[in-house]
Structure 1
Amino acid sequence: MTRAHAGNDACFAVLSAQGEVLEISSGLQRLLGGIPAQEQSGPSQIFGIDDWHATKARIAKTGNAAWDVWLVNEAGGRTGFRMIGYAINHQDQSRTYFLFCLPRPDFTAERDTLVMSAYVDPLTGLFNRRYLEEAAKDAIAASAALASQVGILVLDLNDFKRINDTFGHGVGDRVLSRVATAIVDAVPLDCIVSRYGGDEFVILCQDLSYPGELAQIAEAVKREVSAPITIGKDQIMPSVSVGYARYPDNGCNLTALIDFADLAMFQDKRGEEAAEGLRPAVEGHAMQQALVDAINNQEFVPYFQPVIDLVTGQMIGVEALCRWIKPDGTILTPMNFIPLAERLKLIGTIDHTILQAVCALHARYRSELPEGFRYHVNFSAASFSDPERLDRTLDCLDTFGLRPQQFLIELTETVALAPDMLEGQVIERFHAHGFGIALDDFGTGFSSMSLLKEIPVSQIKIDRSFIMDINVSARSRGIVTGLLGLCRALGIESVVEGVEDAETLDVISDLGADCAQGYLFGQPAPFADVLTRHVGQRPHLWA
């Protein structure tokens, strides 16, 4: 006998293994103006299922089935629906079938093939991100209605960039297809496997049966994927990092669940155990919330390290360095939170928070600062990928009465060579507005020299690794001499980092360095402390 499920706006129906209609939601009833008259006969044909056994077989093979249908209400009105059906396994080994009904009056059955092509990844044959989003919405609605649980697993193919770089993108595509097949082979039939983007896959698990099921699926996928792939004479050993989350415990929608699972996957990628329950994800989720709270509570603040002009001995600027000062007074350096902030896409917000604080401090201490005082700021690659980053930065400076010429944007080689940076000419756009461009950690990467041709560099910061033994190593001294000569030849200002003692200061001064930075002049500190130590004091106070 059919039940009318009340108290839910979702449009769905539940069918038995024999195709009988067991339940119709109140949301679907309201849309149809009551229970369809055809339902009196009880068969599943009222939902556009001509062959129930074929539909069940399709669900068993792919995890779900979808089709378009017109449903007719008692008054004779017609409403177009996209029907998405999938199986629900119960603890007593029985199985029912959930049909989620998406009102789509603009769709007709003739467009089914065209519509489904929009849901499939052409390379792997898996469902794509668009389909996953719709299926997850349906599964969560069903889970809420049936008091069941839904699971999400996020998988990332390890070292895929190296595979592409070594063997070429054609081989990379073949590896992705083989990994996709391995994932499908490893998961239960009622799971939906999708290629979420690039080398990332997401698995949707419906109606979880027991607490450790997600962990078992994760381990099964890892084992199946790890089988060697032979490409010609070469053998590739693929592996994946996996994280997972559960609805409703760890999120109320797909985005929240993926963020939660992403954290566990990130820890798994770093070599931490992520298969025993959700402990890593829970800790990551707590860290995520702590980061959000820290942004809202203004716990991210700039500390400053002076940049010294070696001709005058005076401080001519400062580098702004991010610090997280927690409510208990604990001070965290970027290495403790930046990787996670980047993963959670919060780094752009943190970068802008630091910029605003720098500008506000300048406005407060403007009258105490020497002429031409400059600020060195660090932006992440994610910040630069924001198309509004330049406008937001200019607006921030204008609000506090600063000019771009008072800022140097420090770039590492990794950031400078990011595809978005080069293709979008992001650095050139900042430079055109008057910002100085400083290459940080210069000399440590493979492409440092080529960057001098690619981007408009105003300043080179010579990495401390060349300075640490400059007093005793002729090779290090020779390298620094060469780099300083390169700067002079190109008309680029030089800053030597990592100066920690007076002897090193004397050496780099004799070699002709323009500026220096390091613990000899002071460790990173609040702006007021840096000004007290350096502004208005005699030159070479540190000597």
Structure 2
Amino acid sequence: MKKILVIEDEEFVRENILELLDSEGLEVFGAENGRIGVDLAQQQQPDLILCDVMMPELDGYGVLTTLRQDSILATIPFIFLTAKAAKVDFRQGMELGADDYLTKPFTRAELLGAIASRLKKQEAVQEHYNTEIQQAKDRLSYLAHHDSLTELPNRLSLQELFKQVQPQDDNYQEVLAVLFVGLDRFSKINDNLGSDFGDSLLKAVAIRLKACVDDQDIVARINADQFTVILAKRNHKKDAADVAQSILTSISKIFVVAAQEVFITASIGLAFYRRDSIELQQLLSYAKKAMLQAKQQGGNQYQFYTATFHIISVDYLNLETSLRHALEREELVVYYQPQVDLKTGKISGAEALLRWHHPQRGIIKPDKFIPIAEETGLIIPIGEWVLQAACKQTKIWQDAGFHCLRVAVNLSGRQFSQIDLSQKILQILRETGFHPQHIDLELTESMLVSNTEVAIRRLKTLKSLGMQIAVDDFGTGYSSLSYLQEFPFDILKIDRCFVRNITANPHNAAITEAIIQIAKTLELKLIAEGVETEAELNFVCRHNCDLMQGYLFSEPVPPQEFEKLLFSGKNLQFSPKQDHEAKVR
């Protein structure tokens, strides 16, 4: 039943309208002045409002202005009732956002016709809106489950597909094999012939992989040049080996890419369900180790996983040993990458990013040592040190006059799983004197989905302390609307892989627009990361992102360099002639 609010100071007129609409089966309620009308609108959220123009205290124009400033009430159809018939009065109401006018006295048919027309239009708008949201959800769902380059299932989809073929019977006699396929020398081809050539080659490899297996089998892309094949039903292990050999044979045949012949081979590792493990992640790990063994023996071959494999490089062990001393030797440094407000063009905060200044190797990137820190547990003390350093440094900048400066700090999976995480953060805040309302804690999607109830509880605890929660690298993991609605996020960061070349890549543009649309619907703040060109900047400006960060404005820099950016007043300059265009100044 549709709800109609009637705001009319003349009691006789108001009661007549209420009685008429009630007889039509509509739920109605009335207000004798504009103030009460606004309160009722906020409480009842009607489907349509009829409002007199001339009223004491707050007239109809004031009511409409107030409602249009409320995001929840702004779209409610609004019809003026007035004895004024001058065009200037009509124009004033329409400019404020009125949907229609009824001139007193009006007939029953005119009133019901106006109401029906506006409700029908509102329903059409809502239906269109719902369709767009559903399309955006569908695009995100596809993104969450498929590799955008090869259209193969991705790692998330692989987990779900594995459950479908995973044997449920303990007496299962057939063989289920997991193959980890790594391309040999792909990085050299990519470096020498370019990433576009490499992408085309990967697409061609994906096609050949699918041609080597049955319809019931699964082919997925895990990362850059690595694929996984799950052979769902084979009679013997030899059958799995035969498939592995057919893949090697197929891939070793000449590829023709962009009218150029190229030769490449693959290395394959095999692990078997139940013999090696019943968990997919463990099977993938074992198959990958076997694949690396095949590479070490020259490539273009397959290897079965055995428990005797100990493929841990000397370099890995040396890094682990050095990392254990990096904190005490003060080799770790926090860099800061500016986050820029796209409304003001000014620096509003920074993301704290860890760097390792190794005495012999120089700067070691996080992707080299963070996995080691995660695996060994060193990420706990390192993560606490980063948070303390970031809070201490940002407090110094705030005291220097940049009072509202924010800092974003990444939490690792191990940190987030600590039972006493909130107590540790509170202790750091007390020691540094930093206010929690200026901290954004960034978490990745994959950290939250294993135990959603516990994750939600911990996030709510952190939010209760005053901090904001950001979901990092959005769009690369689970990326569902229900997931966004379920967790108490404040900020959504669009991953750099979607921002990169967005103006030349319609697929990325469509995905990014879908992410933006859903984030705005959920009233999340949007940060576009990895903005490297003015075209990318103009795109995120045009689509109303709130903040940006990326090399176009500044790479991550040491504290002293970030301080120079602050005091120099470096900002984005928006073009006065063309909307949504900006340049770095």
Q: Distance in 1 between matches of 2:550 and 2:404?
A: 21
Equivalent residues of 2:438, 2:467 under 8 A apart: yes
Equivalent position of 2:427 in the other structure: 395
Equivalent residues of 2:271, 2:287 under 8 A apart: no
- Indicate how the Cα distance of structure 1 residues 351 and 455 shifts in structure 2: closer, same or farther if over 3 A, else same: same
- For structure 1, the residue ranges without an aligned partner over 5 or more in a row are 1-159, 180-225, 242-263
- Indicate how the Cα distance of structure 1 residues 312 and 428 shifts in structure 2: closer, same or farther if over 3 A, else same: same
Equivalent position of 1:494 in the other structure: 526
- The structure with higher relative contact order (CA 8 Å, sep 6+) is 2
Equivalent residues of 2:456, 2:488 under 8 A apart: no
**TM-score, normalization: structure 2?**
0.47
Give 1:161 shift. 6.9
SS of residue matched to 1:280: coil
Equivalent position of 1:271 in the other structure: 292
5 Å-filtered alignment, 1:196-207, equals none
- Indicate how the Cα distance of structure 1 residues 278 and 485 shifts in structure 2: closer, same or farther if over 3 A, else same: closer
5 Å-filtered alignment, 1:313-328, equals 313-328=345-360
Indicate the percent of aligned positions where both proteins have the same amino acid: 28
Q: Distance in 2 between matches of 1:173 and 1:454?
A: 39
Q: Distance in 1 between matches of 2:428 and 2:436?
A: 10
- Indicate how the Cα distance of structure 1 residues 295 and 236 shifts in structure 2: closer, same or farther if over 3 A, else same: closer
Q: Distance in 2 between matches of 1:424 and 1:487?
A: 19
| Structure 1 position 386 matched with structure 2 position 418 | yes
| Structure 1 position 237 matched with structure 2 position 272 | yes
Q: After superposition, what is the alpha-carbon deviation per residue over 1:161-181, rounded to whole angstroms, capped at 9, x for unaligned? A: 779734569558989xx99xx
- Indicate how the Cα distance of structure 1 residues 296 and 173 shifts in structure 2: closer, same or farther if over 3 A, else same: farther
**AA paired with 2:483?**
L
SS of residue matched to 1:520: coil
Give 1:518 shift. 0.6
- Indicate how the Cα distance of structure 1 residues 295 and 403 shifts in structure 2: closer, same or farther if over 3 A, else same: same
Q: Distance in 2 between matches of 1:534 and 1:173?
A: 67
- Indicate how the Cα distance of structure 1 residues 276 and 316 shifts in structure 2: closer, same or farther if over 3 A, else same: same
Give 1:421 shift. 6.9
Q: Distance in 1 between matches of 2:236 and 2:396?
A: 62
- For structure 2, the residue ranges without an aligned partner over 5 or more in a row are 1-157, 178-234, 240-269, 278-284, 297-305, 574-583
Equivalent position of 2:163 in the other structure: 165
Equivalent position of 1:293 in the other structure: 325
**AA paired with 2:292?**
G
Q: Distance in 2 between matches of 1:479 and 1:384?
A: 29
Equivalent residues of 1:442, 1:448 under 8 A apart: no
Equivalent position of 1:68 in the other structure: none
| Structure 1 position 338 matched with structure 2 position 338 | no
Equivalent residues of 2:474, 2:495 under 8 A apart: yes
5 Å-filtered alignment, 1:378-527, equals 378-419=410-451, 422=454, 425-527=457-559
Equivalent position of 1:11 in the other structure: none
- Indicate how the Cα distance of structure 1 residues 539 and 365 shifts in structure 2: closer, same or farther if over 3 A, else same: closer
Give 1:423 shift. 5.6
Equivalent residues of 2:446, 2:478 under 8 A apart: no
Q: Distance in 2 between matches of 1:286 and 1:369?
A: 44
**AA paired with 2:462?**
F
Q: After superposition, what is the alpha-carbon deviation per residue over 1:118-172, rounded to whole angstroms, capped at 9, x for unaligned? A: xxxxxxxxxxxxxxxxxxxxxxxxxxxxxxxxxxxxxxxxxx9779734569558
Give 1:430 shift. 1.0
Equivalent residues of 1:164, 1:172 under 8 A apart: no
RMSD over aligned Cα atoms = 3.8
Q: Distance in 2 between matches of 1:277 and 1:487?
A: 46
Q: Distance in 2 between matches of 1:526 and 1:434?
A: 27
- Total equivalences in the alignment: 311
Give 1:288 shift. 2.5
- Indicate how the Cα distance of structure 1 residues 523 and 172 shifts in structure 2: closer, same or farther if over 3 A, else same: farther
Q: Distance in 2 between matches of 1:417 and 1:535?
A: 41
Residue of 529, 534, 543 corresponding to 2:561: 529
Give 1:282 shift. 5.5
Q: After superposition, what is the alpha-carbon deviation per residue over 1:356-405, rounded to whole angstroms, capped at 9, x for unaligned? A: 11122124333235232111111111111111221111110111111221
